[in-house]
Structures are given as C-alpha cells and as structure tokens.
Structure 1
Amino acid sequence: IEQSSDVGYIVWPLIKPLLLGKILYAPATPVSNAIIAKVNKTFEELDKIHQFAKAWVTSPLNLTALFGDLQNTNNIKKVLSNHLFQELFNNIIGMNTFDMESIISMLENFSGGTNVDVLKNIEIIMKQFSDYLPCIELNRFEALQSEAELIERAKELHRNRMVIAGK
C-alpha cells in the first residue's frame, strides 16, 4: 500500500501490525516455548505454501501449456502406457502400474477445455501467493525472560507499529 495516497496513509498504520507485527511472550520457559513451537507451525505452513508457489511460478515447466496441448498429453499418455517404461519406473522409483494408470486417468481429465482454465487460475493464485506471502512476517513470536523486558520491547516495537500482542 502506497503511503503517498491518502488511503494508504490512513490504512497502512492499521494493517502494518497485522502483517509485520510481533507477538511477545514472557517468561520464556521450556513449557511456553513448546506451546509457541506448536502455534508457530501455522506460520511454517505458510512458508511452505510460499516456497511451493514460488517454485510453481518460477518453474520452467509450464503445466498449462503442457496439458493444454492435446498432442503433448497424448504423447505423455503413450509413454506412461508403454510396458517397458512402466517396468523401468517400477524398478527405479517403485511406481507400479496402478500409479501409472492413475496418472494417465488424471491426464485424460486434465487435457484441453475448462481444465486448462483451472490451471491458469491456479497459476494466477500461485503468482499472488508468491508475490504477497513475503509481505507477511512469519517469524512472529519473540520470547523474553521477564515481564519487564516484555514491556520495554513492546514499547520499542510500538513506536514503529510492529507489535501485535504481548502476554
């Protein structure tokens, strides 16, 4: 949000703590740290989503183009249906015939038509995740040893509108 606009100037101070704010807690004990570690799993999942979206967007493999071209899809199905190829995959990575048939079925469902539109929409969503998730502070929790330290740290963060909660 640009602060040069009137709306940005008004809105940014309100949403900045939500996007970038720290959550302070004290005292930092093994029990409280264990609880925070479990809560922090949510933010770890967001980071995984970001990494996946970034990989999707930057991948040289364009799934929309791949599945949108019926000839490409047919070629992939032919290769996956080949008995020699199936044996090779089974020996190398343990992928059995049932797995191959599942992939072939998925390819038949995703070739051409509206499914390409679905992939295009997924690409748009992945691009947005890739662009906007880095704008959210994922390392939210900050442990302090005492309530006095927490108060001082909260004051420091509050000056920059970087605190969201403290307990």
Structure 2
Amino acid sequence: MEKKHYKKLVLLLASVSFFLVSCITPPTSELLEDPSPRQNLSGTSNNVSLSLDKTTYDLPMQTMTLHLHNAGDTVYTYGEFFYIEKQFEDKWHMLEIEDSVFDDFTSFDNYGSRLGPEDKADITVILDDYGLTFDVGTYRIVKAFSDEDTGETTWLAAEFEIID
C-alpha cells in the first residue's frame, strides 16, 4: 500500500473511532422536566427522621437502606412509596418512575406501616425493582410520613452522592 493511501486509511480509522467513542454515553438518569415542588426538605421534622446507610454509593447502585426514627410521642404511618430526585442546575428534579412499577408493586403506596413513639425501622430498597437509572451526581430519596392523629403529612429527604 502506498504511503499516501496508508495515511488516509489511518486518518479515516481515527476519525471513525473518535466519532464512535463520542456517541457512546453512559446511561443517564431520566429526569422529569419541571423541578420538584418540594425543593427545601430536611432529614428531620416533627420528631421523625429519615437517613441512609451511606451518603456515598458506587456505580452500579443496587440497594440502599433507609433508617427511620420517631423521636416523639406521635404515631406516624408510612408506606413503601418513595421517590428519588437528582440535583440538576441547582434544582431538584424527580427521576421518572415507569407506570409499570405501580402495576408490578401494588404495595408501592404511601400507607400500611406504623412508626410509634421512639420506634426505629430499617427499609432495604432494591433499586432494580423500580427501573431507576443512575449516573454520577447528587441525589436524594424523599418519603412521606403521616401523623396518625391529625393526618398532617411530613415530607423528609436524605441526600446521597453517586460516584463512578
């Protein structure tokens, strides 16, 4: 092969390789377009708290354990329901959960369990069950608790980082 053709072939292969590499992107979180309506949430409110087993997780992320604690004298109810948000452009955006998750997990609702005064509970979440896709970034899990006497809902969030 002539030198001239060899150089063109190498240039073509390098260009194609560069193009293919630039097209291959890791999976990214599917975020809802509008920011979450609950931007300012903490991990503790009204004597009930939500925390995680870790604040940093490696990819691929498969499970997380939520720690619940009621430090007060009110009974709170809660369910399996949660949602996860990712911080994007200084705002929290919900990760999309497919409708099929609600069909597959009929217990994925916001009631059914009780957290009495001074009670603690741990919940292990298997993230693959919910079809969630994660990439590197700052996230938080959001969960609702309902005061059994008043029906008032308390929303709590626990933040975590995902690293590669």
TM-score (norm 2): 0.22
Which structure shows the higher strand fraction? 2
Which structure shows the higher helix fraction? 1
TM-score (norm 1): 0.22
